[in-house]
Structure 1
Amino acid sequence: MCEPRFGAVRDAFARNFDDGREFGASVAVYQRGRAVVDLWGGSATAQEEWRQDTVALLASATKGLVAAAAMLLVDRGQLDLDAPVADYWPQFAAEGKAAIPLRWVLGHRSGVVTIDPPLTLADIEQSTPVIEALAAAKPAWRPGQAHGYHCLTMGWLVGEVIRRVTGLPAGRFFAAEIASPLALDLYVGPPGGRHDRLADLVVPTGQQLLRGRPDPGLGGLNQAICDPASLFHRSTFGSFVLTADPLASVHQAEIPSCGGAGNAAGLARLYAALIGEVDGIRMLRPETADRARTVEASGMDLVLRCQTSYGRGFMLPGGPMWPGTCSPTAFGHAGVTGAFAFADPDNDLAFAYVPNRMAELIEGGHDRARDLIEATHRCAIS
């Protein structure tokens, strides 16, 4: 489905396939609380076409789901962004973390980015070892004095606060309070740890990765990826013992920072409900949505080693991690699998793109997502 006014989005989506840049994908757009684009195409696996109900791994776009859950509790008065995390989770106060407010965790300012010794899949599935490790963790910098992407830890940290307030893990709270009322095909780890509608992930070749190395905006990140002593390396590969199939393991383990799955229709509908009414449901009051997109941190990211900007659990426009043109009031989240979604309050717009070929960002650009976002922006303001 694509309304005529958004025909340029359909054209951009088709070009991604015609040019051989896409394997399988979905893209969706809401404006003024109503779906105006819902497209899918290509292949989910080597044997199956992408269907309307196909879902794909979201990677860090999952953080947007957890952030939405946290902000819903803020909206209900059950969480206070300025309250110390230790007020909800007393054990977290260890190693100088007693004064870290929840908003510093959501804004990637807490410094709690590494876990030593690294967690195993068994640790993650048991949950308790993860929570104990985070409670005992020492911040990598003085909390509040800098910011750096909490690659794995943000979801666990915020998720534990959600669990202590509601009695439910973040994924189950999201399912019950957000996904179910809005009928979203979005999951933070699907029931049973598997999903028979899940698309295969197409990873880049070594040659494709090498093409991304010269990107000047990502020079620091590319160096950090190869440096075991870097905060990026220590907060990802150094904090989790990888298995033979790490991406499948992440999905199965229900990691709230990066283990989600879904499609563009679900993501766009979620973001639309964060800034307006969708079929009679609005998740956040306008003032709470404004708080979600309030700048918490901006500038050089100590982990990603590039310019980033964060609100309360959401990425904000600016820097190489945000492709395309949008309103300065936009907020959303990207994932290394190529998934990207955002809300644009100025234009009452929500956009989502979910492919199963990993982000071109690490191959030296993100043309697929950028082209779709640019087309959406032009259509929305015309």
Structure 2
Amino acid sequence: MADIQGTYDDLFTAVPNALSDLLDAQDVGGSVAVFVDGEPVVDVWGGFADADRTVPWQRDTIVNVYSVTKTMTALCALILIDRGELDPDAPVARYWPEFAVAGKEKVLVRHVLSHTAGLPDFDGPLIVADLYDWPSVTARLAAQTPRWEPGTAAGYHSLTQGFLLGEVIRRITGRGVGEFLADEVTGPLGADFHIGLAAEHDHRVAPTVPPPSRDEDYTARAPGKNPAPEAGQGLRVRDGNSVAWRRAEIPAASGFGNARSVALVQSVMACGGTLRGVRLLSAAGCERAWQEQFAGEDRSLGMPVRWGLGYGLFGTTYGWGGWGGSLVVIEPGSRMAVAYVTNQMREPESDTRGLDLVMAAYDGLQGLRA
């Protein structure tokens, strides 16, 4: 049985056992955290940080969580909404005047948060290096024509959502998403999560390992009937593992952290906006994430979805997952947040690891509430 490090409440033994099973099944490494009422009841990790299995996964090992990053950017937007600085019913162009061309005058902030803006990817050829030039990539989006009438359909904005929200946040605050998150969220909470990773943290990064039988040219795609690239234009594992990707601010996909930091930050949403004496937003501000914006077939994912304001909705929970398997789920009714991060990719059609760990957390929650 794989060795698991960290701490956990005895009621939640199923969680570290489930992580151990994944490592026994040849996963390289990962971490899991469960927070209830803002405090960790599970904070465990195991395996290795490198594909050669020579560097043990440590307490402070961090990994690219890909689209789990969207939950952090959404939280930043919700904070600004709660402060009255951002209106979800306002046109994006109120904050970004250059955006009001080519049929985008009626694109609302809530459309961007709910993947219904009609800008699911970029027009024309694009290489990953283009994403590192913020002025260029946002100008490109400002010039595009929506693929559909904004608000009438959903299509997962895999990378574009982060740039769209990020530019609005920048126009309002004068700060990029990474800086705003550090100043207003992760700094006050003491959370080890980064969008735009400084070189001083490179030694802690566990590079992404492609699925078995795949190499570093493995390309992002979403599960569903009509698989679509997560990056819109073909993000490869080798791109995500590059230094350039770490340094870049890509608010939909370039966040680095561990399960502890992801669960800690998103516990704010589970606990009504205040955590450990730090108030980030009101209870009403948290509840906005629950406001259903769309329910139906997502054009990009090719599967049924329900979108709230920045989060996917799943029964009594909300959250989102990332390319490769990382996941965060928020259960406000139980004031619980569960996060799983891993450097081991699996094929998306058969990857249930995150959900299995969430179900293991519910086993413990039942005992805790008994």
Q: How does 1:2-41 map to 2 (within 5 A)?
A: 2-20=8-26, 22-41=27-46
What is the alpha-carbon distance in structure 1 between the residues aligned to residue 189 and residue 356 of structure 2? 28
Q: So what's the TM-score if we normalise by structure 2?
A: 0.89
Match in the other structure for 1:237 = 233
Identity %: 37
Deviation at 1:116, TM superposition (A): 2.4
Matched, 1:380 2:368: no
Deviation at 1:361, TM superposition (A): 5.1
Match in the other structure for 2:48 = 43
Which of 102, 111, 130 is matched with 2:109 structurally? Answer: 102
> Quick check: 1:57–1:337 contact (8 Å CA) kept in 2?
no
Which of 343, 346, 357 is matched with 1:356 structurally? Answer: 343
Matched, 1:310 2:315: no
Q: How does 1:272-291 map to 2 (within 5 A)?
A: 272-276=267-271, 277-291=274-288
Matched, 1:145 2:145: no
Other structure's SS at 1:115 match: coil
> Quick check: 1:121–1:253 contact (8 Å CA) kept in 2?
no
**Deviation digits for residues 325-351 of structure 1, max 9, x if unmatched?**
xxx332211001211012110111011
**Deviation digits for residues 256-285 of structure 1, max 9, x if unmatched?**
111111000000001112232432123221
**Deviation digits for residues 224-266 of structure 1, max 9, x if unmatched?**
xxxxxxxx3596127x7x7963542433322111111100000
Match in the other structure for 2:218 = none
Q: Which amino acid in 2 is paired with 1:237?
A: Q
Q: Which amino acid in 1 is paired with 2:105?
A: A
> Quick check: 1:250–1:258 contact (8 Å CA) kept in 2?
no
Note the residue ranges of structure 1 that are not aligned, 5 or more in a row: 209-216, 223-231, 318-327
**Structure 1 stretch displaced more, 5-14 or 92-101:** 5-14
Match in the other structure for 2:138 = 131
Which of 246, 262, 265 is matched with 2:257 structurally? Answer: 262
Change beyond 3 A, Cα 1:235–1:356:
closer
Other structure's SS at 1:343 match: strand
Q: So what's the TM-score if we normalise by structure 1?
A: 0.86
What is the alpha-carbon distance in structure 1 between the residues aligned to residue 89 and residue 42 of structure 2? 38
Q: How does 1:147-296 map to 2 (within 5 A)?
A: 147-192=154-199, 195-206=202-213, 218-222=223-227, 232-233=228-229, 236-237=232-233, 245-248=239-242, 249-276=244-271, 277-296=274-293
Q: Which amino acid in 1 is paired with 2:125?
A: P
> Quick check: 2:158–2:230 contact (8 Å CA) kept in 1?
no
What is the alpha-carbon distance in structure 2 between the residues aligned to residue 236 and residue 335 of structure 1? 14
Match in the other structure for 2:317 = 330
Q: How does 1:66-81 map to 2 (within 5 A)?
A: 66-81=73-88
Match in the other structure for 1:212 = none
**Deviation digits for residues 135-158 of structure 1, max 9, x if unmatched?**
001111111110010011000000
Matched, 1:343 2:323: no
> Quick check: 2:230–2:323 contact (8 Å CA) kept in 1?
no
> Quick check: 1:193–1:254 contact (8 Å CA) kept in 2?
no
What is the alpha-carbon distance in structure 2 between the residues aligned to residue 43 and residue 244 of structure 1? 19
- For the aligned residue pairs, the C-alpha RMSD in angstroms reads 2.2
Q: Which amino acid in 1 is paired with 2:232?
A: T
Match in the other structure for 1:227 = none
Change beyond 3 A, Cα 1:65–1:244:
closer
> Quick check: 1:63–1:256 contact (8 Å CA) kept in 2?
yes
State how many pairs are aligned.
Answer: 350
Note the residue ranges of structure 2 that are not aligned, 5 or more in a row: 1-6, 216-221
What is the alpha-carbon distance in structure 1 between the residues aligned to residue 153 and residue 338 of structure 2? 30
